[in-house]
Chains A and B, each alone.
Chain A
């Protein structure tokens, strides 16, 4: 059913092509109804997707819903995966679209509480690193699509081409969104930007 994709990079994992090959094998097993393989794939992606969704939606109540809807689709469509992209690109793309739908349904959210969120999780760490506060606020002010390009790149480790597949837009659109995001962050984060001048 599946063919191994030519690209060897697997974002968010240290094993690169080995990680993608393993995920592809798991996907093959899932397509035959292998629940053990499905659970392994679920656990591989749960933390990654939860972090991403928390940053994208700022809503705990949507995380489980979107993750399970995503992996539900993976369970149903594993046999249809053609290997045209990395497994991670496919799964993150489903997650992104599911999250957009969920936000439309429940009301769009930005990330206004990232500073409080960081304080609630780790007050000592937050107090030691003021740049995080600035960064959280600066990211929150970006339009969703620009922020997502930044998150896909730096949180998830995706390439420009992979982000274009995930967001279903041309590569140049990704570059343009990144361009504007970089410019805005540079203006919003003079301390971070100036630290290396």
Chain B
């Protein structure tokens, strides 16, 4: 049986039968408004076609709800998210927060669980300084080479693009950081902050899908502990 012509989808106006027929899924899932329920119930009394269709929709609903997909245990995922929140709150607590952030939320105190971050950042900072010193002693010219400057210098072309905040793992070397930045074609705009946060940007981040790609790439990298867009906005 087909309802296409009868229910107005072929261009004709909906009759009472067609309107009721269209509402049946939401009668079946018990979410329809009371006035619609009353109207459909009145129609159902005399319409065997709609009675059968409602029964079919109820069968469908029961079958769909009966399927139980594999569901992950929530605790591990929750722990990861809370760690992400801890890290970002440390960023927000810093005075030199990037103006690119448009996150609108009440100020929240940094959590006790994230106090180790400044220590980790300090250790990483010392390691990086050591590496820089070693490089300078061995090949001082490389420090003035354009390639290094490109990875860390601010660029007007990316100044107003979305940016990403990145925290590298404690064992990430300068080469690792350079490789990571090269992989997403990004530059360091600011950082490291007290919490070890680098703000990175790229001209291609003007395209939202490229930001997503870069985020996925960064998060999959073993030397990146955290990567988050700084101008994320989701309309409520």
Q: What residues make up the interface of A, taking CB atoms closer than 8 Å to B?
A: 9, 11, 31-33, 35, 39, 42-43, 46-47, 50-51, 54-55, 60, 63-64, 67-68, 71-73, 75-82, 90, 94, 97, 101, 104-106, 114, 117-118, 120-122, 129, 131-132, 135-136, 139, 150-151, 153-155, 157-160, 162, 175-176, 178-179, 182-183, 185-186, 189, 192-193, 195-197
Known: A105-B213, A105-B216. A31 touches B71 (CB 8 A): no
Say which one of B60-68, B149-157, B176-184, B191-199 lies at the interface with A. Answer: B60-68
Can you list 24 pairs linking A and B with CB atoms under 8 Å apart? A32-B106, A33-B109, A46-B72, A46-B78, A55-B69, A68-B81, A75-B85, A80-B104, A90-B236, A121-B68, A132-B67, A135-B60, A150-B60, A151-B64, A153-B31, A155-B64, A155-B65, A157-B31, A160-B26, A178-B25, A179-B3, A179-B7, A179-B9, A183-B4
Query: Would B70 and A67 count as touching, CB distance under 8 A?
Result: no
Does A131 contact B63, Cβ atoms closer than 8 Å? yes
What are the 9 A-B residue pairs with the smallest beta carbon separation, nearest first?
A: A33-B108, A54-B69, A159-B31, A46-B74, A196-B55, A154-B61, A154-B64, A73-B234, A80-B236
Q: How far is the CB of B115 from chain A (nearest CB, A)?
A: 16
Check A192 against B59 for contact (C-beta < 8 Å). yes
| B15 vs chain A, min Cβ distance (A) | 15
**Minimum Cβ distance to chain B for residue A149 (Å):** 9
Q: How far is the CA of A72 from the CA of B71 in the complex (A)?
A: 20
Which residues from B are CB-within-8-Å of A162? 31
Identify which of A33, A135, A153 contacts B25 (C-beta below 8 A).
A153
- With A105-B216, A159-B32, A196-B55 as given contacts, are A176 and B9 in contact (CB-CB < 8 Å)? yes
Contacts from B to A (Cβ < 8 Å): 1-4, 7, 9, 22-23, 25-26, 28-33, 52, 55-57, 59-61, 63-72, 74, 77-78, 80-82, 84-85, 103-109, 111, 209, 212-213, 216, 232, 234, 236
Number of A-B contacts (CB under 8 A): 165
Docked CA distance A70–B103 (Å): 15
Nearest-Cβ distance from residue B21 to partner chain A, whole angstroms: 9
A-side contacts of B232, CB under 8 Å:
73, 76
Residue in contact with A153 in the complex, picked from B3, B29, B84, B236, CB distance below 8 Å: B29
Contact A104/B72 with A11-B31, A179-B9, A192-B63 known, Cβ cut-off 8 Å: no
* A150 vs B65: C-alpha distance when bound (angstroms): 11
Q: A131-B63, A175-B22 are in contact. Are A81 and B72 (CB under 8 A)?
A: no
Shortest Cβ gap from B110 to chain A (Å): 10
* Whole-angstrom CA separation of A182 from B50 in the bound complex: 13
Distance between B31 CB and nearest chain A CB, rounded to angstroms? 4
The residue on A at minimum CB distance from B19 is: A175
| CB proximity of A41 to chain B, nearest CB, Å | 11
List chain A residues, Cβ under 8 A from B9.
176, 179
Q: Roughly how many angstroms separate A179 CA and B70 CA in the complex, as a whole number? A: 29
A135 contacts B63, C-beta separation under 8 Å: yes
CA distance A162 to B32 in the complex (A): 11
Report whether B57 and A182 are in contact in the complex, using a CB–CB cutoff of 8 Å.
yes
